[in-house]
Amino acid sequence: MKKIYTLIITPSVLLVVAIVVIVLTTVSSNKTIHYQRQQISELYRTRDSLNNVITNSLYALKDQQYLIDSLSVANQALQTDEFYLLISLDLQHFWLKKRDKIIWEGPCATGRGTTVIDGETFDFTTPIGERTVLGRRDEPSWIRPDWYWIEQGLEVPHDSEIVEIPDSLSFQEAIAFYDSLPDSLQIRVRRVPGALGKSMLNLGEGILIHQGNIGAGIHSHGCIRLKASDLEVVDSLLSWGSSVFIF
């Protein structure tokens, strides 16, 4: 006669089984999560490596193109029979030359490149290549662009707030008038006499050669700044149509 065995499942047994299932599921889930995290970390490392390779390649291409452009500019300069100006952005130096003979040389300051001011992007680059002197002006005034106030964290003054220098004054009198103003009024002057020196050369597209601050780590907003004594020599030998080679 066969014996019949009956499996009695009590609530306690069910609880134990449920706990075992939960533990096994949790362990498996944790292993999966750990694996997934490893995979994600590996993807990020791969992405960063690729970004580094791409960035280095772009810099290498940029340097190579800069070298090609520089050699091209130097070659063009040697073909010129008149006085010309050679400007190195890398060395922040200029040479006033005729053919391969150096007539005068000295330090200069050129553009700082693309700059973000208060969330707005400005291009203060001095462009590479050959330019020509399109004009010159004695006793120029600097017309302050809006970025002059923006980069100082100031509001651009409205037209009604602008302080005007009287047109009836001579150049020296206008400079003296400006210097006599308190800081609170000087900051509201749009047309500043004497800020560019005694003269300036216009290369077009807002690029000027003028007097200004120069020195280690000092850059302009795109123009070429020279010392007053250097500007006097350059201005005396360059004329309308003279070539300026920037590399």
Average pLDDT, the chain: 82
Residue 18: is its pLDDT beyond 80?
A: no
- In Å, what is the CA distance from 97 to each residue of 58, 77, 126, 147? 34, 9, 20, 35
Please identify which residue in the block is written with the tokens 């100006």: 85
Q: For the chain, report the end-to-end CA distance as a whole number of angstroms.
A: 109
Kindly report, residue by residue over 194-225, the tens digit of the pLDDT: 999 999 999 999 999 999 999 888 999 999 99
Residue 17: is its pLDDT beyond 90?
A: no
- pLDDT on residue 106: 98
- pLDDT on residue 237: 97
Residue 124: is its pLDDT beyond 90?
A: yes
Please list, residue by residue across 97-125, b when 16 or more beta carbons sit within 10 angstroms of its beta carbon and e when fewer do. beeeeeebebbbbbbbeebeeeeeebebb
Here the tokens at position 204 are 């077009």
Residue 227: is its pLDDT beyond 80?
A: yes
Q: What does the pLDDT average to over 127-133?
A: 95
Please identify which residue in the block is written with the tokens 């004695």: 138
- pLDDT on residue 5: 45
Please list, residue by residue across 216-246, b when 16 or more beta carbons sit within 10 angstroms of its beta carbon and e when fewer do. eeebbbbbbbbbeebbebbbeebeeebbbbb
Residue 23: is its pLDDT beyond 60?
A: no
Q: What does the pLDDT average to over 38-63?
A: 54
Here the tokens at position 203 are 């290369």
Here the tokens at position 183 are 């800081």
Q: How many CB atoms lie within 10 A of CB 11?
A: 7
Please list, residue by residue across 154-183, b when 16 or more beta carbons sit within 10 angstroms of its beta carbon and e when fewer do. eeebeeeeeeebeeeeeeeebbeebeeeee
Three-state SS letters, 176-220: HHHHHCCHHHHCCECEEECCCCCEEEECCCCCEEEECCCCCCCCE
- pLDDT on residue 2: 45
Q: Return d(Cα 223, Cα 173) in angstroms, integer.
A: 26
- In Å, what is the CA distance from 8 to each residue of 3, 5, 135, 183? 16, 9, 107, 97
Position with higher pLDDT, 1 vs 114: 114
pTM of the model: 0.69
Kindly report, residue by residue over 72-122, the tens digit of the pLDDT: 666 666 676 789 999 999 999 999 999 889 999 999 999 999 988 888 899
- Of the chain, the percentage scoring pLDDT greater than 90 comes to 62
Q: How many CB atoms lie within 10 A of CB 149?
A: 16
Position with higher pLDDT, 21 vs 96: 96
- pLDDT on residue 155: 95
- Of the chain, the percentage scoring pLDDT greater than 70 comes to 68
Kindly report, residue by residue over 155-172, the tens digit of the pLDDT: 999 999 999 999 999 999
